[in-house]
């Protein structure tokens, strides 16, 4: 089986250099059928996702990176060596240091390459058509009444000066790839090459067996799936992608002032892309023609959008703690208590984390992805069954504080068996409605001086029914014939006493 790099090379020979299958076979020595297979392939998803296991060295990288970045402002003779970093880790972070001195040396070498640059880099010299530049920017917006920080992913086309943006919650690899797909789908095509900066948070690059920096297999597979080439700018060289740098500011000033309100990210991004198209109706600063006209001409040189979906998610394994929680990137997410102590698989998307059983045969639960360390996402409905069996634990669980005061008082007043029944009813309500609706059901029940769990269940079913027939709002026909009532026969039966 060929590596994705070899596959990409075959496709470049055919699509970019116009080589025939026979010529490629002569150049590479590969089988004719193999070449034909990969040239005609249009789906580059991996067939089986392997969950990534956490690495003991991952928690050391941010610390090492911070120390090395601090070295940039120091005299070159007074900077950290690998040995000094190892000694500091052993002294200041002994609880995190679970790797050898040699591993720390390798980590320092890798982080230095990211910060101080690499010889294996590219220089942008011109702006041929069908090439794009990508970058992240930041903006502030309101969500749920609070002012929050968001990110804008910008894809710009220097030749026509067209630009498109989508809002994201982070600058992770998942956000980058999902955002690019949204833009590709919107414009209906894909640039032949995209320029990236270092984007260390998106993990676009890794090292091969020789220690040379290269694009990761996953990102190469993504690029091959959609047919574009990846190019990198030099470190700390924003001028090499000046078009997208300018576009970040232009879109922020024109589309994010004043601060926008985000209630639904997908709907917001659809409107945002439409607004970007409106901005592209302006004249090009040099050619004095509408940008959208120049962009339509540039699109003729691009690659058609591949309609086969590409799975951009990351898969990782985690173990469920005795509290029914999963730790991931400094945040905690709940899982069903029946999985306590077991390994589960996380499907990590840009804005969502889906928890599956280890073999991915069953979806356990899903959460909105968190990005600020120390936060928790708890689906309390998963814990209702276990609290029902341990009623004394209710007041010490997070769900108690979330319950309306009416339900707190109600549960406190019940005996053990009624308590369990009430929790079953509460779970039934929460499966379809929310806590506010549960509060409404209990208050409606209390109006009739009947607060048994059965009475609460009856009230809930009554409120859920179609109440039109009870409220007299149905329209009956107005032309129904009158019906005369004749009781003469009944009077004869009783002796005519009421005549």
Say if residue 1 is in the same domain as residue 19: yes
Last residue of a domain, one of 100, 116, 132: 116
CATH number of 369's domain: 2.40.50
Residue 402 confidence (pLDDT) above 80: no
Instruction: Indicate whether 54 belongs to any domain.
Output: no
Which 3 state secondary structure label does DSSP give 103? Answer: helix
Distance CA 134, CA 16 (A): 22
pLDDT band at residue 483 using 50, 70 and 90 as cut-offs: low
Residue 104 confidence (pLDDT) above 80: yes
Q: Measuring CA to CA, which residue among 137, 163, 165 is closest to residue 150?
A: 137
First to last CA, the chain: 104
Q: What pLDDT was estimated at residue 472?
A: 47
Q: Measuring CA to CA, which residue among 121, 357, 358, 343 is closest to residue 241?
A: 121
pLDDT band at residue 243 using 50, 70 and 90 as cut-offs: confident
Distance CA 402, CA 393 (A): 15
Say if residue 240 is in the same domain as residue 286: yes
Look at 87-101, 110-124, 399-413, 458-472 and tell me which has the smallest mean pLDDT: 110-124
Say if residue 210 is in the same domain as residue 349: no
Last residue of a domain, one of 116, 148, 180: 116
- Surface-to-core class of residue 58, CB atoms within 10 Å of its CB (0-12 exposed, 13-18 middle, 19+ buried): exposed
Q: What percent of the chain has pLDDT over 90?
A: 28
Say if residue 261 is in the same domain as residue 198: yes
Say if residue 288 is in the same domain as residue 146: yes
Instruction: Indicate whether 480 belongs to any domain.
Output: no
Residue 152 confidence (pLDDT) above 50: yes
The answer to whether the Cα torsion of 119, 124, 128, 133 is positive or negative is: positive
Instruction: Report pLDDT digits (tens) over 355-400.
Output: 999 988 889 888 999 988 888 887 766 666 656 555 555 555 555 6
Domain extent at residue 85? 61-116
Q: Can you read off the two tokens belonging to residue 88?
A: 């500091």
Say if residue 232 is in the same domain as residue 354: no
Say if residue 343 is in the same domain as residue 243: no
Say if residue 456 is in the same domain as residue 439: yes
φ/ψ of residue 62, rounded to 5: -60, -35
Enumerate residues 6+ apart whose C-beta is below 8 A from 310: 44, 45, 177, 181, 222, 225, 226
Instruction: Indicate whether 422 belongs to any domain.
Output: yes
Distance CA 69, CA 67 (A): 5
Domain tally for the chain?
5
Instruction: Indicate whether 159 belongs to any domain.
Output: yes
Residue 285 confidence (pLDDT) above 90: no
Average pLDDT taken over every residue of the chain: 82
Q: What pLDDT was estimated at residue 55?
A: 77
Q: Measuring CA to CA, which residue among 261, 42, 298 is closest to residue 164?
A: 298
Say if residue 81 is in the same domain as residue 128: no
Instruction: Indicate whether 499 belongs to any domain.
Output: no
Q: Name the strand (E) or helix (H) holding 22.
A: helix 21-28
Enumerate residues 6+ apart whose C-beta is below 8 A from 255: 165, 272, 275, 276, 279
Residue 313 confidence (pLDDT) above 50: yes
Instruction: Report pLDDT digits (tens) over 38-67.
Output: 989 888 887 666 666 777 788 888 899 888
Say if residue 129 is in the same domain as residue 217: yes
* Of residues 201 and 147, more confidently modeled: 147
pLDDT band at residue 124 using 50, 70 and 90 as cut-offs: very low
Say if residue 163 is in the same domain as residue 292: yes
Residue 476 confidence (pLDDT) above 80: no
Instruction: Indicate whether 20 belongs to any domain.
Output: yes
CATH number of 277's domain: 3.30.420.10
Distance CA 431, CA 381 (A): 8
Q: What pLDDT was estimated at residue 212?
A: 65
For residues 83-108, average pLDDT:
89
Instruction: Indicate whether 482 belongs to any domain.
Output: no
Last residue of a domain, one of 347, 378, 409: 378
Residue 480 confidence (pLDDT) above 70: no
* Of residues 354 and 96, more confidently modeled: 354
Q: What pLDDT was estimated at residue 302?
A: 92
Say if residue 198 is in the same domain as residue 275: yes
For residues 400-424, average pLDDT:
76
Buried b (16+ CB within 10 A) or exposed e, 247-259: bbebbbeebbeee
| Structural contact between residues 134 and 194, judged by C-beta atoms closer than 8 angstroms | yes
Distance CA 211, CA 206 (A): 9
Instruction: Indicate whether 77 belongs to any domain.
Output: yes
Distance CA 347, CA 312 (A): 10
Residue 458 confidence (pLDDT) above 80: yes
């Amino acid at each position: 089986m060929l590596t994705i790099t070899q596959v990409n090379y075959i496709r470049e020979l055919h699509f970019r250099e116009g080589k025939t299958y026979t010529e490629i076979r002569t150049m590479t020595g590969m089988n004719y059928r193999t070449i034909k297979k990969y040239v005609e392939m249009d789906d580059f998803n991996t067939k089986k996702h392997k969950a990534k296991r956490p690495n003991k060295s991952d928690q050391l990288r941010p610390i090492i990176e911070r120390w090395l970045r601090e070295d940039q402002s120091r005299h070159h003779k007074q900077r950290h060596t690998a040995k000094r970093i190892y000694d500091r880790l052993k002294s200041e972070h002994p609880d995190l240091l679970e790797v050898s001195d040699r591993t720390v040396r390798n980590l320092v070498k890798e982080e230095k390459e990211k910060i101080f640059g690499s010889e294996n880099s590219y220089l942008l010299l011109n702006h041929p058509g069908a090439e794009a530049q990508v970058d992240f920017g930041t903006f502030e917006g309101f969500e749920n009444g609070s002012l929050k920080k968001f990110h804008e992913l910008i894809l710009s086309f220097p030749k026509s000066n067209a630009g498109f943006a989508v809002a994201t919650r982070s600058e992770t690899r998942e956000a980058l790839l999902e955002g690019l797909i949204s833009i590709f789908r919107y414009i209906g095509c894909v640039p032949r090459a995209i320029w990236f900066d270092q984007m260390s948070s998106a993990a676009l690059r890794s090292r091969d067996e020789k220690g040379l920096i290269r694009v990761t297999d996953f990102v190469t597979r993504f690029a091959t799936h959609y047919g574009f080439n990846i190019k990198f700018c030099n470190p700390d060289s924003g001028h090499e992608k000046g078009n997208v740098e300018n576009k970040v500011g232009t879109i922020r000033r024109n589309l994010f002032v004043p601060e926008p309100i985000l209630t639904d990210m997908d709907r917001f991004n659809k409107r945002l892309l439409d607004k970007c198209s409106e901005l592209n109706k302006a004249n090009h600063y040099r050619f004095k023609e509408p940008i959208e006209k120049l962009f339509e001409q540039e699109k003729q040189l691009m690659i058609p959008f591949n309609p086969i979906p590409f799975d951009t998610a990351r898969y990782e394994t985690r173990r469920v703690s005795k509290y029914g929680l999963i730790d991931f990137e400094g945040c905690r997410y709940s899982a069903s208590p029946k999985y306590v102590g077991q390994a589960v698989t996380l499907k990590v998307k840009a804005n969502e984390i889906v928890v599956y059983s280890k073999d991915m045969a069953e979806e356990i639960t899903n959460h909105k992805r968190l990005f600020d360390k120390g936060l928790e996402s708890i689906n309390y409905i998963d814990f209702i069954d276990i609290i029902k069996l341990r009623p004394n634990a209710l007041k010490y669980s997070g769900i108690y504080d979330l319950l309306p005061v009416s339900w707190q008082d109600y549960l406190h007043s019940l005996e053990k068996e009624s308590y369990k029944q009430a929790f079953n009813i509460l779970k039934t309500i929460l499966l379809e409605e929310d806590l506010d609706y549960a509060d409404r059901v209990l208050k409606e029940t209390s109006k009739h001086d009947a607060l048994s769990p059965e009475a609460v269940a009856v009230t809930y079913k009554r409120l859920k029914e179609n109440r039109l027939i009870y409220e007299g709002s149905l329209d009956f026909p107005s032309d129904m014939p009158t019906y005369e009532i004749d009781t003469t026969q009944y009077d004869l039966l009783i002796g005519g006493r009421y005549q």
